[in-house]
Amino acid sequence: MEITEEKNIKGKAAKKESFSSKSPRKKTITRLSKLKYEEKIVQIKRVTKVTTGGKKMTFRAIVIIGDNKRKVGVGIGRAEDVNLAIDKAILNGKKNLISVPLTILSSIPHVIESSYGACQIMLRPASLGTGVIAGGSVKAVLELAGIKNILAKQFGSSNILNNAKATIRALVKLNEKIELGKTQSSRKSSFYDKVMKKYNNVKFNN
């Protein structure tokens, strides 16, 4: 009996050594949770909802999140506590990140207009050293996206959330316009190759 037990122990030890000798696989995918983002709280508002038992008070937080390079998003969070509402808004912003088309001068290649609700936004490229000429939530979105030279104008309503969403929609439109231009003609594709910044293909996981 003792000899068989010793053999079993030796067999288990040999299996452990064989598993440990195997080289681990290298993962090149960078996860979204490991990346560092900057947050900017744009608005914290107290919201009351009338129910049968009375009024229910909650807080709504609007947070803009970005990496100052290419990614930006707008998040909304609602909770009974302010800190919990901010945490929910940050998680929502990380889920709704978009990629921003940046030129070599840290600007945008074209003039673009967009609207969300009663808010209208116009974004215009600018030369080096101009800065971010914008106001309110539009400026926060453009700065956290990594754009350093741009002119922006708001029309219509001055709603903070709608202006931020209109800016995001304008940047999405700009991405679609660039992708469409590359397929239309070789002249446009060569123009975008010269003007746009080049990035390595990195996969983002939620």
Average pLDDT, the chain: 81
Question: Is residue 171 scored above 80 in pLDDT?
Answer: yes
Percent of the chain as helix, strand, coil, to the nearest 5: 40, 30, 30
Query: When comparing pLDDT for 174 and 1, which is higher?
Result: 174
pLDDT grade for 194, boundaries at 50, 70 and 90: confident
Q: What pLDDT is recorded for position 149?
A: 92
Do 73 and 67 contact (CB within 8 A), yes or no?
A: no
pLDDT band at 180 (very low <50, low <70, confident <90, very high): confident
pLDDT at 19: 43
- Lowest mean per-residue pLDDT among 36-40, 41-45, 152-156: 36-40
Q: Give the span between the Cα atoms of 100 and 116, in whole angstroms.
A: 18
Domains of the chain as residue ranges with CATH: 31-98 (3.30.160.20), 100-199 (3.30.230.10)
In the predicted structure, residue 41 carries a pLDDT above the cut 70: yes
Q: What is the pLDDT of residue 8?
A: 54
* Mean pLDDT in residue range 81-102: 92
Percent of the chain at pLDDT above 70?
79
Task: Give residue-wise pLDDT tens across range 3-17.
Answer: 455 545 555 555 555
Q: What is the pLDDT of residue 11?
A: 56
Q: How confident is the model at residue 22 (pLDDT cuts 50, 70, 90)?
A: very low
CA torsion, ordered 190, 73, 135, 149, to nearest 10 deg? -30
Pick the most confident of 20-24, 33-37, 76-80.
Answer: 76-80
Backbone dihedral angles phi then psi of residue 123, each to the nearest 5 degrees: -115, 130
Residue 155 has pLDDT above 80, yes or no: yes
Q: Residue 21 pLDDT > 50, yes or no?
A: no
What lies within 8 Å, CB to CB, of 46 at 6+ separation is 57, 58, 59, 60
Instruction: Spell out the residues 6+ positions from residue 177 whose beta carbon is closer than 8 angstroms to its own.
Output: 110, 112
Cα three-residue angle 125-136-149, rounded to 5 degrees: 20
Q: Which amino acid is at 80?
A: E
User: What is the predicted pLDDT for the residue at 6?
Assistant: 52
